[in-house]
Amino acid sequence: AQKVTQAQTEISVVEKEDVTLDCVYETRDTTYYLFWYKQPPSGELVFLIRRNSFDEQNEISGRYSWNFQKSTSSFNFTITASQVVDSAVYFCALSERVGNEKLTFGTGTRLTIIP
């Protein structure tokens, strides 16, 4: 069975600080995909990144970066120089097997950026 754990329920940081959101996953499959989504107060889930299990390269996109480590089954997300607009709930999600699009989500981390 697949499982995603986001142990940090809520995080608050002062604007311009860096913050890392943790994600740990469990799966028996060798082929799987990991995702991060952002859910602002409006409710819509906004796709941020997809990573497949064969690509352990870290990725940077502007102020966002992702650290994928299969050895520890983790896929952590870092926001550099945080801004108030980053305030949202962030979800990590996992899907197994190509063609099976079921996403298993973690419980989310509520991030609050204090001006």
Contact residues toward other proteins (CB under 8 A) are: 4, 33, 35, 37, 42-47, 50, 52, 91, 93, 95, 98-108
| Phi, psi angle pair for 108, to nearest 5° | 90, 155
Q: How far is Cα 15 from Cα 101, in angstroms, rounded to an integer?
A: 36
Contact criterion met (CB below 8 Å) for 19 and 13: yes
**Cβ proximity to other proteins, 58 vs 100, nearer residue:** 100
Q: State the nearest-atom distance from the C-beta of 88 to other proteins, in Å.
A: 14
Q: State the nearest-atom distance from the C-beta of 91 to other proteins, in Å.
A: 5
Q: State the nearest-atom distance from the C-beta of 49 to other proteins, in Å.
A: 9
Q: How far is Cα 38 from Cα 25, in angstroms, rounded to an integer?
A: 18
